[in-house]
Amino acid sequence: MATEKKAPAKRKKKTAAELKTDLEAFKKRVADAEAKEYGAAIEAALTKQNVISGINVIKANVKGANELLILRKIGEMLGVKRLQITQSEPKPRQKKGS
C-alpha cells in the first residue's frame, strides 16, 4: 500500500491591508511586552526614590492637592504632551449567587 502524496496547498498572498493590520497587531504586542518589562524596573526605581512619600508630603503641605493634580503637574513639568490622567469610579461587585 502506497500512500498518496497530496499536492502542497498554495499560499495566498496577503493584501496590503491585511499586512497593515498584522503590523499594527504586532506593534501592539511589542508595546505590551515592553510595558511589562519596564514596569517592574520602573516600580523598583520609584520605590527606591521614595516617590510615594514625596507625593504624600506635597499633599500634606498644599491644601486641596490630590494625586491626580500632582501627577498632571509632573507630566506638564516633564513636557509630556497629551497626557491624560483620569480616575474612574470603582465598579460594584456582583452579589454572590446571581
pLDDT over threshold 60, residue 63: yes
* CA–CA gap between residue 31 and residue 38 (Å, rounded): 10
Percent of the chain with pLDDT over 90: 19
Q: Per residue, what are the HEC states of 35-93?
A: HHHHHHHHHHHHHHCCHHHHHHHHHHHCCCCCHHHHHHHHHHHHCCCCCCCCCCCCCCC
The ranges assigned to domains in the chain are 35-79
Angle at 48 between CA 45 and CA 74, to 5 degrees: 65
CB 67 within 8 A of CB 74: no
Q: What is the pLDDT of residues 16-58, one digit of tens each?
A: 999 999 999 999 999 888 888 888 888 888 888 888 888 899 9
pLDDT over threshold 90, residue 9: no
